[in-house]
Amino acid sequence: MTRISQIDLDDSGLPPPTPEIEQERKVAIYDLLEDNTFVLPVREDRPVPDGPYHVNLAIRDKRLVFDVATEAAEKAAEFHLSLGPFRQVVKDYFQICESYFDAVKKLPPSQIETIDMARRGIHNEGSRVLQERLEGKVEVDTDTARRLFTLICVLHFGG
């Protein structure tokens, strides 16, 4: 019961994503819902509501907002993260993704593989930053952090 069963992105007011970004979003959401770990820590002043959880991700006032509810729509948690620590890694990730999408169209497989390895490295860095920022708020495994980082990038793309 320590998992996400539904995830929504509040992209209201953002420009429509490119087809590539929309595909990244769909894959990340599908993979996240198939397999994830999302554990809210015990707090001294209140019990932790049982999961699975519905998570709404949004960017508000230049902060990343995780709004977490139970399947019965009871508020489970809400936390806000500064976007500052994500800016450079998101920028790097978009640059390498753009190179990757261009490479797929015209370069041989060996060069595409090299760019994809770099893309995965930057993606891993972003998920590491996310896990550090979530420390004490929620525990996520590496795969969950990677998928959430992709969704943060989707929100950044529009913002």
Residues 88-102 pLDDT 10s: 999 999 899 889 888
Task: Return the beta strands (E) in the chain as ranges.
Answer: 4-10, 38-39, 53-60, 63-70, 75-82, 139-140
**pLDDT confidence of residue 157:** 66
The pLDDT-based confidence of 159 (bands split at 50, 70, 90) is: very low
pLDDT in tens, 110-136: 889 999 999 999 999 999 999 999 999
Separation between Cα atoms, residue 2 and residue 51, nearest integer Å: 5
What distance in Å separates the CA atoms of residue 54 and residue 38, rounded to the nearest whole number? 11
- Residue 47's pLDDT band, with cuts at 50, 70 and 90, is confident
- Average model confidence (pLDDT) across the chain: 91
Secondary structure (3-state) at 4? strand
